[in-house]
Amino acid sequence: MAASPRLGFIGAGRMATALARGFVAQGLARPEQMIASDPLPAAAEEFARQTGAKTTIDNAQVAADSECLFLAVKPQQMAEVLAELRGRVSEKHLVVSVAAGITLGALAKGLGPGPRLVRVMPNTPCLIGQGASVYSLGPGAAAADGELVGRLLSAVGRACEAPEKLLDAVTGLSGSGPAFVYIVIEALSDGGVRMGLPRDLALQLAAQTVRGAAEMVLATGEHPAVLKDRVASPGGTTIAGLQALEAGGLRAALMAAVEAAARRSAELGTSA
């Protein structure tokens, strides 16, 4: 495959747009190297506006005009898309699925022999270049294919490779995780308002506090428990708040949320 392959997107929604925009911004692809298809005119128009790339309603045209083909459709739509693409993708294609729960086995069965396959679990912070993506190589995919996918995904955040058996857990953690963090930010903000802070100030402080704490974990490489203990001085305000969190079951609730989302990801893969 060429160093700068032609990129195609089946589905031109927010995730596809974020990925394509990141590829262009990082110099990994030029708009004229990309094409996307979507049956919704509004989605296609927004993709074109943000990326400068060509759009169409014809999935077959996208397959014909691309070497690296991203499948960015909802899991419930994947079977129909795979059937349409079967026979239109070949050994020249690297097919990258970003649909939750759709296994490499399902992709191989739906597309038939030929294309190299990669399964990816991105998350919505890709929209602002702060994504957390994990990818797994499938049938026929070579190390060079993994390097390409890792380089592309790194344009919109952090990217890691992992075995496919871990991707449902990844979906539960980083795929669904932003929604869980939004609940935490909202709750912290509500707490500030409860104690007299103006809503706008409380929300800014809550969001920046979560952002700063996350950056501390990533920048220092230290365990969150170590960083937590440095904030919680004996008999102080933080340890009082931590006791309230433990009494409210926050830790167990977040663990259960990840588990529930991971199990649902596995169900989607089974029913797709």
Mean pLDDT per 10-residue run, the chain (272 residues)? 79 94 91 95 96 96 96 92 95 93 92 95 91 93 95 94 95 96 98 98 98 97 97 97 97 98 86 63
DSSP assignments along 195-216, one per residue: TT--HHHHHHHHHHHHHHHHHH
For 24, the enclosing helix (H) or strand (E) is helix 14-25
CATH 3.40.50.720 residue ranges for the chain: 7-166
Identify the architecture of domain 7-166 in CATH. 3-Layer(aba) Sandwich (3.40)
CB 155 within 8 A of CB 21: no
Distances (CA, A) of 225 to 1, 222, 231: 45, 8, 10
Instruction: Provide the pLDDT for residue 100.
Output: 84
Instruction: Provide the pLDDT for residue 1.
Output: 42
Instruction: Provide the pLDDT for residue 272.
Output: 58
β 54-56/7-10 pair status = unpaired
CATH code for the structural domain at 175-270: 1.10.3730.10
CATH 1.10.3730.10 residue ranges for the chain: 175-270
Instruction: Provide the pLDDT for residue 245.
Output: 97
Which tokens sit at 54? Answer: 């060509």
Which tokens sit at 130? Answer: 């702060």
Neighbours of 139 (CB within 10 A): 14
Supply the DSSP symbol for 102.
-
Instruction: Provide the pLDDT for residue 139.
Output: 80
